[in-house]
Structure 1
Amino acid sequence: MRHNKKNNHLGRKTAHRSAMLSNMASSLIMHKRIFTTVPKAKELRKYVEPLITKSKEDTTHSRREVFSKLQSKTAVTELFQTVSQKVGDRPGGYTRIIKTGFRLGDNASMCFIELVDFNENMLGDGKAAKKTRTRRSRRKASDAAVAADAPKTKKAKEVAEVKEVAEAEESVKEEAVKVEESPAAEVKTEEPVAEPEVNEEPAGEAEQKTEEGE
């Protein structure tokens, strides 16, 4: 029976297994992603996540404990200066394992393990809002949306009509003001009509003509 055998020895003795996991943990901290087999990735996750949790408290004691596991000063510096700042608000679950298929030759299941907070593409997808799916038909949903928008459109039409009436009244008022302010029309004075000239003869000549005519 398999009692108290939660660790996978990976076909190696203790010294070889601990050295391999230490080397893989340092590579993961430095490069943020490594490509390996699925059993090794699962064991590495259990090995490196407690170290990342300890890096949240930057003290000499925690640095010495992490160094005893990694045996690399550059990896310890990278962990406490860069990685700990990224994972400061995350309560665990610092790594992600994504399977990539099977290896040619021995058909071993392959994957890559990465630090969650350093994959910007996956972070953008996680922040996007999830759409809820319902069993209602699209037609009913569209009808409900139209019915919900109906009072809004009615109010918008009423507001538009009120605005048009107000604009028309303002235009009429402006025209009236323009007419009042315009100068009075010039009144044209009629020129006196020239009367025809009448040749007035002296009274003596007219009497002589009448006498001769008689």
Structure 2
Amino acid sequence: MPGTRKLGKPTDQRMAMLRQQVTDFLDNGKMETTLARAKEIKPLAEKMITLGKKSDLAAYRQAMSFITREDVCKKLFKEIAPSYAERNGGYTRVIRTGVRRGDAAETAIIELVK
């Protein structure tokens, strides 16, 4: 499902981290993180929004198996996905913001497109 970046973590930890970050991103609509993580979050978040556009029980259950909080899943299906009903993909964008002080990791903001 996600890309090929390992992000310095074993598979189970990496997937748990990505699930949590996608959940937080969908809850807030915007998130600042490293560029590599933002590039990994983007396709996962777009897939969740596409599931939300289907708005049937099977899609809801599939989204709930990935999203870690039920209130975020309800928000996805009731608020976020209907606002993108006329749009075919491209729901998110990644904007580079610079480097992080301390380890010089490239930082980026990932946000929902209005």
Distance 2:44 2:9 in 1: 16
Length-normalised TM-score, structure 2? 0.94
3-state secondary structure, aligned to 2:109: strand
Per the alignment, residue 26 of structure 2 pairs with 29
Match of 1:92 among 85, 89, 92: 89
Once residues 78 and 29 of structure 1 are traced to their aligned partners in structure 2, the CA distance between those partners, rounded to angstroms, is: 8
Q: How many residues align?
A: 112
Distance 1:91 1:50 in 2: 12
Instruction: Give the 4+ runs in structure 1 shifted more than 6 A.
Output: none
Q: Aligned equivalents of 1:99 and 1:112: distance in 2? A: 6
Q: How does 1:85-124 map to 2 (within 5 A)?
A: 85-117=82-114
Q: Greater relative contact order (Cα 8 A, min sep 6): structure 1 or 2? A: 2
Letter in 1 for 2:59: S
Read off the aligned partner of 2:70 and give its amino acid letter. K
Q: Secondary structure at the match of 2:104?
A: coil
Q: 2:7 aligned with 1:10, yes or no?
A: yes
Q: Tell me the SS of whatever aligns to 1:69.
A: coil
Q: Say which structure is richer in helix.
A: 1
% identity of equivalent residues = 33
Query: What is aligned with 1:78?
Result: 75
Residue 136 of structure 1: aligned partner: none
Give ranges in structure 1 of 5+ residues lacking alignment: 1-5, 118-214
More strand by share: 2
Cα deviation, 1:145-203, whole Å, max 9, x if unaligned, reads xxxxxxxxxxxxxxxxxxxxxxxxxxxxxxxxxxxxxxxxxxxxxxxxxxxxxxxxxxx
Gaps (5+ residues) in structure 2? none
2:17 corresponds to which of 1, 20, 30: 20
Give distance in 2, aligned partners of 1:23 and 1:49.
15
- Partner of 2:31, secondary structure, is strand
Give the residue type in structure 1 aligned to 2:108.
C
Structure having the higher Rg: 1
Distance 1:71 1:52 in 2: 15
Partner Cα separation in structure 1 for residue 15 and residue 67 of structure 2: 10
> What is the CA–CA distance in structure 1 between the aligned matches of 2:59 and 2:11, rounded to whole Å?
24
